[in-house]
């Protein structure tokens, strides 16, 4: 199933078809606003499409919009991951089976490795190993300090999404 379809409009604007909806990136403000919202949504509902959006951002034209869109997308993504971090701190209250299973997996990792350090969090944010979603919940369960969590997560995700966004530019000649 394809999530994205790219359409170049006559005015060099780009529209991305996402899950059947046309998302208009024709002005910088729209592109940045959509990126923020999509980043948040894909972090709260982790379906693995964040990298596809970062890749799509790299194909936007004019190329000057790519940086702000990637930064905005990263901000939204980190804000969305804070929901899962908070869920980790509230783990005793969660009753939904799917969410409970994710939290129990994170607790098992935390029990085996009680000190979730900056290196593990950074590696997870950049490389996705261990899975970033589980690391986020585990950081909440372990009560990792919020400010370093946000700083490490933002930096790592920005590196990841920035590198992915560079890929289309490698093959596009303006």
Q: Quick one: pLDDT at residue 154?
A: 98
The CB density around residue 46, as the number of other CB atoms within 10 Å, is 17
Asked if pLDDT for residue 6 goes beyond 90, the answer is no
Name the one residue in this structure whose structure tokens are 């190329």: 63
Q: Average pLDDT of 66-80? A: 95
Task: Using alpha carbons only, give the angle 72, 83, 134 rounded to the nearest 5 degrees.
Answer: 100
Q: What is d(CA 164, CA 162) in angstroms, rounded to the nearest whole number? A: 5
Q: What is d(CA 173, CA 154) in angstroms, rounded to the nearest whole number? A: 30
Q: Quick one: pLDDT at residue 115?
A: 63
Asked if pLDDT for residue 161 goes beyond 70, the answer is yes
- Read off the pLDDT of residues 91-145 as tens digits, 9 standing for 90 and up: 888 888 888 887 788 778 767 776 667 888 999 999 988 899 988 988 888 888 8
DSSP 98-127: HHHHHHHHHHHHHHHS----HHHHHHHHHH
Pairing verdict, β 4-8 and 21-24? unpaired
């Amino acid at each position: 199933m394809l999530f994205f379809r790219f359409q170049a409009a006559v005015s060099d604007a780009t529209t991305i078809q996402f899950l059947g909806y046309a998302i208009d990136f024709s002005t910088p403000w729209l592109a940045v606003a959509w990126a923020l919202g999509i980043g948040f949504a894909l972090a709260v509902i982790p379906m693995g499409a964040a990298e596809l959006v970062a890749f799509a951002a790299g194909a936007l034209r004019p190329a000057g919009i790519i940086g702000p869109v990637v930064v905005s997308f990263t901000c939204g993504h980190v804000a969305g991951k804070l929901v899962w971090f908070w869920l980790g701190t509230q783990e005793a209250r969660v009753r939904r089976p799917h969410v409970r299973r994710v939290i129990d997996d994170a607790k098992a990792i935390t029990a085996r490795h009680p000190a979730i350090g900056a290196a593990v969090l950074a590696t997870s944010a950049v490389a996705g190993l261990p899975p970033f979603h589980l690391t986020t919940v585990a950081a909440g369960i372990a009560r990792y300090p919020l400010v370093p969590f946000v700083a490490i997560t933002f930096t790592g995700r920005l590196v990841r999404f920035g590198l992915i966004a560079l890929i289309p530019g490698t093959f596009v000649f303006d």
